[in-house]
Amino acid sequence: MLRIATIGTSMITDDFIQVVNANDQAAFVGTLSRDAERGAAFTAEHGGERNFTALDELASADDVDAVYIGSPNALHYEQALACIAGGKHVIVEKPFCATEAQALEVFRAAEAAGVVALEAHAYPSTIPPSTPSRTPWARSPPSAAPHCALANIPRATTRFSPGRATNIFDCNMASGSLMDIGVYTVEPMVEIFGMPSGLTSMATLLDPTTQQLTHGPIDGCGSILASYGGGSISVELAHSKITNDLLPSQIEGERGTIQIDHLSTPRNVRIDYRGDVVRGSATEAPREQGDNGRVLDLPKSSNTMEYELTDFITAICGIDNVKEEIWETPAGRHELGHYRDVTLVSLRIMDAVRQQAGITFPADAGKQA
């Protein structure tokens, strides 16, 4: 039985505890919150045995085996290192850390301590390996390779109001649209295509008059254009915390198009293979003859954190039986090293995107927020 404590009292932490309580291999112990009173109420509400009032108390707790970290982004690094030093496995909410350098330090500390450090990835578990979007395109014939991928993660919120501070838009908390929402487009891109050969981006920054509250320039929405294979494949990502986009994500190739309804939690994925094109006219749009589409059978869960918990438990069970490097330990369908690499490459991309936009965090200067 894996005894799990959590850090944070957000909605996503609530989702994680729900799957812990429903899993016969895990048990919820309690929560650490910056607000002790709120943490105690949250722990009691979810059936926990004790609440924690300090990070060192949680890190040294004998009745805790693992910790889920769902706190503000800037706190992940310090909290993960403390828990690892206390011999705890950690699963950290996205983004794993504020920068690639921080994440690499956490992974190295976990390896030295012989524990699992895992980002709460959903993509490898929710998209089956046989899905065409997971095919190694480099080995595909030119006619089958994709030419364009479009990924949209909109989540319109009104969390930012003039005159009111919020963790969602705060450089000291390593937040903003890219970090809070854009990560859900960057990580699937890395999962499918890897590290791009070219990268350019644009960001819409919040009004400069708000910077006293946001502690510097910060993005409300933005877009990323990545290229692969010397420009033979282009990937366009869009993310926003201030607008809403109702379009699906898709991958386009010469032989067809893959449509994904919700990239972060895919429920419906459809492949439409190209048929014979019938030319249009002034009165009729071009069309294709023949119905060549099919819908993929994907795992369906009301709470996709079920997959993340399953991979976390699998990785921990594997480490107990492996003597060589822990990165060779299987974690679900992938080795733990694969998860690590997706996290590090994604943060490398996000570091570059923030640099292009002029967005800086305390962690960029080697300081911890």
**CATH architecture for residues 128-295:** 2-Layer Sandwich (3.30)
Do the domains 128-295 and 2-122+304-365 match in fold? no
Classified as helix, coil or strand, 62 is: coil
pLDDT of residue 281: 65
Residue 339 has pLDDT above 70, yes or no: yes
Residue 343: what are its φ and ψ, rounded to 5°? -60, -50
- pLDDT-derived band at 159 (thresholds 50, 70, 90) equals low
| CATH class, 2-122+304-365 region | alpha beta
pLDDT over 90 at 309, yes or no? yes
Q: Indicate the domain borders of the chain.
A: 2-122+304-365, 128-295
Interatomic CA distance for residues 218 and 233, integer angstroms: 29
Could you tell me what percent of the chain has a pLDDT over 70? Answer: 80
H helix intervals, the chain: 11-21, 36-45, 55-59, 76-85, 100-113, 123-126, 177, 183-193, 211-214, 305-319, 336-357
263-305: per-residue pLDDT in tens? 777 778 888 887 766 666 666 666 665 667 888 877 777 888 9
Identify the residue with better confidence: 244 or 108: 108
**b/e per residue, 171-205, with b = 16+ CB within 10 A?**
bbbbbbbbbbbbbbbbbbbbbbbeebeebebebeb
Q: How far apart are CA 51 and CA 33, in angstroms?
A: 9
Residue 11 clears pLDDT 80, i.e. is over it: yes
More reliable by pLDDT, 140 or 17: 17
Section 331-358 average pLDDT: 85
Tokens at residue 344, please?
Answer: 């590090």
Element (H, E) at 293: strand 293-295
Across 355-364, average pLDDT? 97
pLDDT of residue 325: 40
Peptide bond between residue 95 and the one before it cis (omega within 30 degrees of 0)? yes
The pTM for the full model equals: 0.86
The string of pLDDT tens digits covering residues 27-71 is 999 999 988 899 999 999 999 999 999 999 999 999 999 999 999
Largest CA distance in the chain: 75
Q: Are 98 and 104 in contact (CB under 8 A)?
A: no
The pLDDT assigned to 134 comes to 41
- The predicted structure's pLDDT at residue 279: 67
User: pLDDT tier at 321 (50, 70, 90 boundaries)?
Assistant: very low
Q: What is the pLDDT of residue 368?
A: 46
- 139, pLDDT greater than 70: no
**pLDDT of amino acid 173:** 96
- Percent composition of the chain: helix, strand, coil (DSSP 3-state, to 5): 40, 25, 40
Q: What is the mean pLDDT of residues 313-327?
A: 61
Of 347, 88, 356, nearest to 199 by C-alpha is 356
Predicted confidence at residue 296, as pLDDT, reads 82
Among 93-107, 240-254, 274-288, the range scoring the smallest mean pLDDT is 274-288
- Residues 337-359 have a mean pLDDT of 94
Over residues 91-98, the mean pLDDT reads 97
pLDDT given at position 317: 84
Chain segment 199-227, per-residue pLDDT in tens: 999 999 999 988 989 999 999 999 999 99
Write the pLDDT tens digit of every residue in 164-201.
778 899 999 999 999 999 999 999 899 888 899 999 99
